[in-house]
Amino acid sequence: MKKVAVLYICTGRYSIFWKDFYKSAKSKLFANSSLEFFVFTDQDIDVSTNDVHLIYQEKMGWPYDTLMRFHLFSKIKDELKHFDYIFFMNANLIVEKEISSSLLPDKEDLFGVIHPGFYNKDPAEFTYERNSKSTAYIPQGKGHHYFMGGFNGGKSSAFIQLIEQLSSNIQMDLDNNIIAIWHDESHLNRYFLDHQERLKIVGPEYGYPQGWNLPLERKITILDKTKFGGHSFLRNEK
Ligand code: UDP
């Protein structure tokens, strides 16, 4: 039985998503593997089972709550080494259909989901980071897919390498007063481009926005944040 670590951040108001996320992931994600959840939060969330590890994390403010994710993950690197796989999932995801362990990358090392907003789009429209001074830079003409930052993962050693490289890249950008256009997602896209031969790519059935109608079978829903007060309310921007 494979051991899978699920990394989850819910600082501030994003903690409202935890309960339903956990229930859905616990019952439907990677059947026949053993899941443990690492939850970074500053809120009192209801945890009554021993498969959930709480890590106190203060809310840093937008966009740092999402941008600094790889810094947070690198703090628990030693614990993560004991797993076969590591996945990150955004707070507002719900696993709708049973997802078997065959989704775990086997011959590849890493796992990425095509962003639903860029599914079947011309790569010229991808919102990669275009500032050549950023470590997330991707020039026009390069890159075949635009990946979502909200669900990704890989074999433990490969994902720990990603965590180390991206925390260092993001830190280098910050030291140069640069924040990539889509934060962590821009850095992830650059990393996946650099490691594309080791990447398992799946479609937006694993990141299917609530209320959308794509010609795909819905497996994981991205809850519509406007139904929960909207982006700026959830991020506590006002
Ligand atoms: N996040 C958080 N607290 C915040 C803002 C963001 O915990 O105040 C985390 C949470 O895991 C969320 C992720 O950062 O799912 C990405 O945030 P964002 O609002 O950008 O979600 P997106 O719009 O990309 O779905």
How far apart, in whole angstroms, are the C-alpha atoms of residue 231 and residue 229? 7
Confidence of residue 25 (pLDDT cuts 50, 70, 90): very high
ipTM higher than the 0.95 cut? yes
Mutation probe of ligand 1 site: the residue of 22, 55, 65, 221 with most atoms within 8 A of C-beta: 65
Residue bearing the CA closest to ligand 1, atom 19: 231
Which atom of ligand 1 is nearest the CA belonging to 234?
8
pTM for this entry: 0.97
pLDDT beyond 90 at 48: no
Ligand 1 in contact with 112 (CB < 6 A)? Answer: no
Q: Name the residue among 185, 216, 215, 204 with its Cα closest to residue 117.
A: 204
Average pLDDT over residues 34-44: 97
207 lines ligand 1 (CB under 6 A): no
Ligand 1 close to Cβ of residue 155 (< 6 A):
no
Burial class (CB in 10 A: 0-12, 13-18, 19+), 98: exposed
168-189: per-residue pLDDT in tens?
999 999 999 999 999 999 999 9
Mean pLDDT of 97-115: 97
Report how far ligand 1's centroid is from the alpha carbon of 1 (Å).
31
Q: How many angstroms separate the alpha carbon of residue 188 from the centre of ligand 1?
A: 15
Give 26's contacts (C-beta < 8 A, 6+ positions apart).
35, 51
| Predicted pLDDT of residue 60 | 95
User: What pLDDT, on a 0 to 100 scale, did the predictor assign at position 199?
Assistant: 98
pLDDT tens digits, one per residue of 68-96: 999 999 999 999 999 999 999 999 999 99
Calculate what percentage of the chain has a pLDDT beyond 70: 100
For range 12-22, the mean pLDDT: 96
116 lines ligand 1 (CB under 6 A): no
156-175 helix and 184-194 helix, angle to the nearest 10 degrees: 120
Of 8, 222, 223, 229, the closest CA to residue 119 belongs to 222
The larger pLDDT score, comparing residue 48 to residue 179, is at 179
- Ligand 1, atom 8, residue with closest C-alpha: 235
Assess contact for 156 and 81: CB atoms under 8 A.
yes
